[in-house]
Every structure is written in structure tokens, then in C-alpha cells.
């Protein structure tokens, strides 16, 4: 879970090159204004390749979402990276970062638009169901590790994970859709919650 | 904050009749598929009135959002309705209702789409800034009342309110954009949080 995605630095093969172009076009234009033409403007290879692989913008974006989820899955720090409390802290630092670099802001804004598609498009809903399940399972694993090693109290890992995911999701959406950024307040209260319950 | 909006039962004047038509068209079609024509299909008065008042779908929807916020503002239960802990509980019951009637589901889905517009449209962003501020202030008032009356501990009302708003917002968005509804788990953990910190 880092900003330094390998596929942006050194895209391998056609699919990664397409994913890189999609990433940049999505950050630049957002979902509503995105077109395959605008993605092809960021594409370094033959534009006909892009049209050859995807019939529509949504088909391409759904593939992009799957690709990004795989990147998240591969990039998640495992138990070897530290104690459960440090790993949980790292997730908080990532999800509720006080300073948001412009490109990450734009990516979160675009993801907010893509998630809204799921309100009326079951293809997007299927994706975000997998997306939420992955992040929830990952957080629950960290909590369970912490209980096992005696760092956390005997809580219900799945329940805590569902709660934390709502906090992250709500705070990230709000910060790109309203002018007042409450992330610092949310983070401070989240720390109180962790201290009192975990 | 009830589902029984007076303007849906007995719309008074042209604006409320337009708002009623917009409400039903938005619940039926969602944002992306909404057109002024589809709103006019739900409108009981002369359709030319609708086109006379609004130049575009977004102009109408921004007016609808303002109208709905006023409805929320008027419908919020005051201190006369109970102790702070009961009032907070009522907010939880409303925001994280386990059973979601179909029309309320559709309204939340449409609001999720409208909020996503704020990612790239500052008119929507201005609205949701006011929207968030109103709900945050309302929750903070309830917390502050509870501290004053000795029901809650000496917490920071604004910080708690920002945190709770993220929880509500995240959980409501997730339930209309993913297949797995985690609201029961979120609510259970929220109760743990309240018990441990408030």
C-alpha cells in the first residue's frame, strides 16, 4: 500500500501500459469526463491496441479497478513488517494521512466517482464487494494477530474491521467532496477508540 | 429526520410540487439516468413550469439538495425530545437502521451519486460542505448537552461528531455500493465505542 506503484514507473507489457495511461487519465479528468480518447492521450503505445482490448470506457475501468485491487493485495505489509499495533497504525497513517499529495487526492476523488457507479451498476457493485471484503479481511487479520500476541484485547476482529472500514471510507470520501477536511479530528478520535477498546 | 416528509404527502406551492417530483424521479432513476423529462413525468402541474424554473438538471438537483437540507434542519429533534443519550441513540437508529425500506435505499443510493459529483463540481462541493457542517454541528450539540447534563464524559464534542459522521457516511455509502451489508457489525462496534469513551 504505497504510492510508488511499479506499473507507473516501469509498466511491463501492454496491459500495464494501458493501466498506467488509465491511472493518469482518471486522475486528470475524473470519471465523468473520462473517455477512451483521453486515456489514449496518455498511452505510449499504438492507440488501436487500446480500442482492440476494450469495447467501452466502463469495461476498461472495471479492468483497471481489478488491476488496482491486485496491486493493493500484493502491496499489503505482512506480519514480518512489525507488531500488530504498528501495522494497524501504518494502516491509519495511510488511510487518514493528514497531508494528501495532489495525485492521491485526485485518485481518491476518482475512486469516489467509480464507487458511486455501483449504486446503479451491478458490475461496479460486484467489484466493490470484493474490494471491501479484501480490506476488511486484511484489517481483521491484523486485529486477530494482535489478540493472539497479547497486544489487543479479546475483541471481535470482523466487527472491528467493519467499523474501521466505515471510518476510513467515510473520512476519505468526505475529504474529496467537501471543503472542510476533518481527517485530523477523525484520526484523533480513532486513536481514543483504539486506546479504550483494543 | 423522518421518512414522512410533509412535502411528499401535501406539497405546498409549485416549488414543493417540483421537489416531490424530483424526489420520486431521483429514487426511481438515480442521478446518471435522470433527465428533466423524467422529473416532469412525476410532475403533477404544467411541465412548462419546470423548464421555466430550471435551466439544467444539475441546477434543479442543487435546489433539491438545498431543499432537503432545510427539511432535515426543520425535522431534527430538539432537547425537549429526551436525554442526550436517547437522542444520540435515535440518530444511530436512523443512520444505521438495520432494515432499509426500498425507497430509503434508493434515496441513499442517489445521494451517494450526488455526493460523487462534488469530486469535480464545486457547486456540489459547496452544498455538501454545508450538509456535513449541519449534521456535525447537530451531533456535537447533542454530545455537548450530554456532557453538561452529566450523561457523557468530558470529551471533545466536535471531534466525536466528526468521527461519528465518518462512520455514518462510510456505512451508508458501503451498503448501497456493495453486496455485503455490514451495518449490523458497524452498529455493534459503535455501541462498544460509545460505552468505552462517552
pLDDT in tens, B33-87: 999 999 999 998 878 888 888 989 999 999 999 999 999 898 888 888 889 999 9
- With CA atoms as reference, the chain B residue closest to A29 would be B120
Disruptive mutation site among A25, A38, A154, A162 for chain B (greatest number of B CBs within 10 Å): A162
> Looking up cell 475529504, which residue turns up?
A175
CA A187 to the chain's CA centroid? 18
CA A183 to the chain's CA centroid? 16
Please compute the mean of the pLDDT values over residues A75-90 and round it to a whole number. Answer: 88
The rounded distance, in Å, linking the Cα atoms of B165 and A47 is: 44
> HSE on the CB side for A42, CA within 13 Å?
21
Confidence class of residue B1 from pLDDT cuts 50, 70 and 90?
very low
Q: Which residues of A touch B57 (CB under 8 A)?
A: none
**B71: number of Cβ within 10 Å:** 17
Could you say which residues from 38 to 77 on chain B have a Cβ atom under 8 Å away from some Cβ of chain A? none
Say yes or no for a CB contact (<8 Å) between B182 and A176.
Answer: no
Q: Is the pLDDT of residue A64 over 60?
A: yes
Contact (CB, 8 A) for A178 and B129: yes
Could you say which residues from 114 to 153 on chain B have a Cβ atom under 8 Å away from some Cβ of chain A? 115-120, 124-126, 128-129, 131-133, 136
Q: How far is B115 from chain A (nearest CA, A)?
A: 7
The rounded distance, in Å, linking the Cα atoms of B27 and B3 is: 13
A98 near B CB under 8 A: no
Contact (CB, 8 A) for A32 and A113: yes
Contact (CB, 8 A) for B161 and B128: no
Which one of A156, A186, A196 has the shortest CB-CB distance to B162?
A: A186
pLDDT in tens, B133-160: 999 999 999 999 999 999 999 999 999 9
Of the candidates A98, A116, A34, A28, the residue with the CA atom closest to the CA atom of residue B173: A116
The rounded distance, in Å, linking the Cα atoms of B44 and B88 is: 38
> HSE on the CB side for A26, CA within 13 Å?
25
Which one of B110, B125, B159 has the shortest CB-CB distance to A188?
A: B159
Q: Which residues of A touch B143 (CB under 8 A)?
A: none
Task: Output A184 or B4, whichever has higher pLDDT.
Answer: A184
The rounded distance, in Å, linking the Cα atoms of A95 and A113 is: 18
Contact (CB, 8 A) for B39 and B25: yes
Contact (CB, 8 A) for B88 and B145: no
Q: Is B35 exposed, middle or buried (0-12, 13-18, 19+ CB in 10 A)?
A: exposed
Amino acid at each position: 500500500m504505497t504510492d510508488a506503484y511499479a506499473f507507473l514507473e516501469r509498466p511491463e507489457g501492454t496491459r500495464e501500459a494501458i493501466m498506467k495511461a488509465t491511472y493518469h487519465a482518471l486522475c486528470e479528468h475524473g470519471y465523468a469526463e473520462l473517455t477512451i480518447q483521453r486515456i489514449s492521450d496518455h498511452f505510449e503505445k499504438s492507440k488501436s491496441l487500446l480500442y482492440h482490448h476494450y469495447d467501452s470506457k466502463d469495461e476498461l475501468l472495471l479492468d483497471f479497478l481489478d488491476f488496482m485491487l491486485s496491486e493493493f493485495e500484493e502491496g499489503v505489509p505482512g506480519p514480518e513488517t512489525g507488531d500488530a499495533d504498528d501495522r494497524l497504525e501504518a494502516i491509519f497513517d495511510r488511510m487518514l494521512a493528514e497531508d494528501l499529495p495532489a495525485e492521491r487526492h485526485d485518485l481518491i476523488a476518482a475512486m469516489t466517482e467509480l464507487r458511486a457507479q455501483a449504486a446503479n451498476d451491478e458490475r461496479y457493485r460486484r467489484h466493490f464487494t470484493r474490494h471491501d471484503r479484501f480490506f476488511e479481511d486484511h484489517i481483521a487479520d491484523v486485529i486477530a494477530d494482535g489478540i493472539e500476541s497479547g497486544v489487543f484485547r479479546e475483541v471481535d476482529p470482523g466487527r472491528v474491521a467493519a467499523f474501521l472500514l466505515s471510518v476510513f471510507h467515510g473520512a476519505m470520501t468526505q475529504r474529496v467532496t467537501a471543503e472542510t477536511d476533518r481527517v485530523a479530528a477523525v484520526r484523533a478520535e480513532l486513536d481514543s477508540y483504539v486506546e479504550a477498546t483494543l
